[in-house]
Chain A
Amino acid sequence: MILLELFLTFFKIGLFTFGGGYAMISIIENACVEKKKWITHDDMLNVTVIAESTPGPIAINCATFVGYKKGKILGSICATLGVVLPSFIIIYIISKFLENFLEIKIIANAFGGIKVAVAILIVRVALGLFAKLPKKILPKIIAATAFLIMLLSDICSLGISTIWLLITAGAIGFAAYFAHEKLGRGEGAKK
């Protein structure tokens, strides 16, 4: 039944999401779009945007979204519970029993590798999203500009909040739509 599937799928997602939200997009996409076909790539992009604009972990936002789509309120509860449970259990055990978790050699070494994989996965997600953008010039400019500003912010520790970038980009999108409408009317073009 769908509720159980939602719980189990998101449990698996929750279990493998190392390194925070953006890496999770890769795993969620793999599970929900490619394997289970619960949502489309476009849905995934929409939810990523919404998740970035709303408070809270991306994982929760995605789980609630997909859960609701497939199983209404009960679905969203099952999915959210599923995604939170693995890390809850693991962290609780660590906090209670493993005082020096990070110092355990094998864990530290494994994590040395995982950090690299996480970064690569995030780049892979971005490249995939980039390939799916409309082939017009404006999206490419927005993407390139956002990329450069964000990179600069990180390198120089400027701490530019993504919210401002998103607000600006949203405004540009909106303005572009109206500019397009106006031009269409101005030329008397049939549309």
Chain B
Amino acid sequence: MILLELFLGFLYVGCFSFGGAYSAIPLIREVVVSGGWISDEALSYMIAVSESTPGPIMVNLATYVGSSQAGILGSMVATFAVVLPAFIIILLVMVVLSKTLEHRYTQAVLDGLKPCITGIILAIGAYMLWENLVHFTGGFSVNIRAVIIALLLIGALVISKKVFKKKMSPIMLICISAVLGIIVYAI
């Protein structure tokens, strides 16, 4: 029955999506296509919507696919299944391994992991910024509107820090960017 299929399918995704969304998307494609649930085109649309709405992409996709296959129950089952593995694993890590976290060997490994993840995150952010500001469709074109928004946002962050001595909350920045987007793209 579809609910069981949804559960197992998204449990699989939840178990093997190491590193988050970007490994989850191919897995979800695999599950959805083999189940014959939705067309590739519809899936691509769902992925775009899931990237645009709040929440983790794979959770959004689970909700979306689940809903399309089996209504509210389907979306709940799929969402629950995709979240479960991560939830249990972290609990295990915390309950069983929290002492291990303090051990000097673990600290040594973490001393290597932390700068690595810092570099990774910086690369991801920098690339995302680049992708938003520049287009590579045949030629090389700059998205002027995005550049303007970026400059205004950075300006806002700097003013907040230097003039008001406050680090602007990310939520505030997102709200400002939404307004800016509506204004700038309407022109």
Interface residues of A, Cβ cutoff 8 Å to B: 12, 14-27, 30, 34, 45-46, 48-61, 64-65, 68-69, 73, 76, 80, 83-84, 86-88, 90-92, 94-96, 101-102, 106-127, 129-130, 133-134, 138-140, 142-151, 154-155, 161-163, 165-166, 168-174, 176-178
Interface residues of B, Cβ cutoff 8 Å to A: 14-21, 23-24, 45, 48-60, 63-64, 67-68, 72, 75-76, 79, 82-83, 85-87, 89-91, 93-95, 101, 104-105, 108-129, 131-133, 145-146, 149-150, 153-154, 157, 167, 169-171, 173-174, 176-182, 184-186
Are the C-beta atoms of A94 and B49 separated by less than 8 Å? yes
Are the C-beta atoms of B111 and A176 separated by less than 8 Å? yes
Are the C-beta atoms of A123 and B55 separated by less than 8 Å? no
Q: A90-B53, A117-B173, A139-B114 are in contact. Are A110 and B178 (CB under 8 A)?
A: yes
Are the C-beta atoms of B79 and A84 separated by less than 8 Å? yes
Are the C-beta atoms of B123 and A60 separated by less than 8 Å? no
Q: A18-B174, A54-B86 are in contact. List 6 more A-B contacts (CB 8 A).
A: A23-B170, A76-B90, A110-B179, A112-B185, A115-B128, A176-B108
- Which residues of chain B are near A134, meaning CB under 8 Å? 111
Are the C-beta atoms of A101 and B14 separated by less than 8 Å? no
Are the C-beta atoms of B59 and A84 separated by less than 8 Å? yes
Are the C-beta atoms of A80 and B54 separated by less than 8 Å? no
- The A contact surface, by secondary structure, is helix
- Which residues of chain B are near A25, meaning CB under 8 Å? 121
- Which residues of chain A are near B104, meaning CB under 8 Å? 177
Are the C-beta atoms of B90 and A54 separated by less than 8 Å? yes
- Which residues of chain A are near B24, meaning CB under 8 Å? 57
Q: A18-B53, A122-B128 are in contact. Are A169 and B14 (CB under 8 A)?
A: no
Are the C-beta atoms of A123 and B174 separated by less than 8 Å? no
- Which residues of chain B are near A117, meaning CB under 8 Å? 149, 153, 173-174, 176-177
Are the C-beta atoms of B116 and A142 separated by less than 8 Å? yes
User: Out of B54, B123, B177, B185, which one reaches A147, CB within 8 Å?
Assistant: B123
Given the complex of chains A and B, what is the CA–CA distance between A50 and B109 in angstroms? 12
